[in-house]
Amino acid sequence: MQIFNKNGVLVGMFLLVGVVGYLIGQRQNLSLLKPSPKTQVTPSLDSTKQYIDSLSCPIDMSIGEFAEFFRLGNETPISGKPILVTNPQIIKQSYSFAIRKKEIMDMLANEDGGKIEDGSLGVHDSGKFDVDGDGKDENFVTADIYMNHLPHIAMLVKNGNIIFEAEGAGVWIDKVYENKGFLLTEEIERFTGEYKNTRYVYKDGGFVPVWTQKVCYAQYRK
């Protein structure tokens, strides 16, 4: 009994080649990303104009019977094309970390729902790496200052002064190649798995946003 006819075999081979090509393309566009903030980076970056991309979050993908093993937001971030920032401005910030910390603690003490742990910020992550290319490490701190345990504030600290600060519903600062600036990641919409990367470089005593990038998580279905 003939199970496959010639036309069926050709169609099957065509579909297989298409699927393999698609998966290879997707793999090249994947970027590892920590789950991460409402857009409030700096006054110099108009996110509503610069943040444009063809991706629609979440990205719907059919994978058959294995869909039950995956859920939105914890598996596959898919990055869109970086969009260059037009007319970028240098962001220069320099103010005392100790004073800023006290301001935040005073704010929390006067707000319902705020949290204070042992008289300090609820530090989510911290570490050191060089962001300005001088061969010396700067400190970075991300801290959760409300009750949902996300890092709501991200700071770069040099010689006791904050040289960059961002706030939002979830923000992260990451090291980049050859310590030429840093990458800021923001959570835009948790329930659709939408995040945003902004690449900053060091220039003339400040930081310049060079490009932004939209990132969506895949949502799997059968």
**pLDDT more than 70, % of the chain:** 63
CA torsion, points 126, 129, 132, 138, in degrees to nearest 10? 50
Please say whether the dihedral angle defined by the alpha carbons of residues 36, 37, 42 and 46, taken in this order, is positive or negative: positive
Instruction: Count the alpha carbons within 13 Å of 44 in the hemisphere toward its beta carbon.
Output: 19
Instruction: Please tell me the distance from the alpha carbon of residue 154 to that of residue 170, in angstroms, as a whole number.
Output: 9
What is the predicted pLDDT for the residue at 74? 57
What is the predicted pLDDT for the residue at 112? 52
Give the model confidence (pLDDT) of 55-108 as tens digits: 788 777 777 777 777 665 456 788 888 999 999 999 999 999 999 888 877 777
Question: Hey, is 165 helix, strand or coil?
Answer: strand
Instruction: Please tell me the distance from the alpha carbon of residue 155 to that of residue 173, in angstroms, as a whole number.
Output: 8
- Which span out of 50-54, 110-114, 117-121, 194-198 was modeled with the highest average pLDDT? 194-198
- Asked if 151 and 171 touch (Cβ cutoff 8 Å), the reply is yes
Q: Does the structure show a pLDDT above 70 at 27?
A: no
- Asked if 164 and 43 touch (Cβ cutoff 8 Å), the reply is no
Q: Does the structure show a pLDDT above 60 at 214?
A: yes
| 35: its two tokens | 């789950």
Side by side, the strands of the sheet bearing 138-144 are: 95-96, 161-167, 153-158, 138-144, 122-129
Mean pLDDT to the nearest integer, 135-153 = 79
What is the predicted pLDDT for the residue at 107? 75
User: The pTM is what?
Assistant: 0.68
Residue among 30, 26, 23, 61 nearest 215 (CA): 30
Mention every residue, 6+ apart, whose C-beta is less than 8 A from residue 22.
none
Instruction: Produce one character per residue of 22-38: b if its CB has 16 or more CB atoms within 10 Å, e if not.
Output: eeeeeeeeeeebeebbe
Burial class from Cβ neighbours inside 10 Å (0-12, 13-18, 19+) for residue 14 reads exposed
Q: Does the structure show a pLDDT above 90 at 161?
A: yes
Between 5 and 33, residue with greater pLDDT? 5
Give me the chain's average pLDDT, please: 72
**pLDDT more than 90, % of the chain:** 30
- Asked if 60 and 222 touch (Cβ cutoff 8 Å), the reply is no
Parse the chain into domains and list their residue ranges: 1-30, 32-222
Question: Which of the 8 DSSP states describes residue 137?
Answer: P
Give the model confidence (pLDDT) of 162-189 as tens digits: 999 998 878 899 999 888 899 999 988 8
CA torsion, points 181, 174, 155, 125, in degrees to nearest 10? -160
| 162: its two tokens | 């904050």
User: Angle at the Cα of 84 (from 82 to 89), degrees rounded to 5?
Assistant: 135
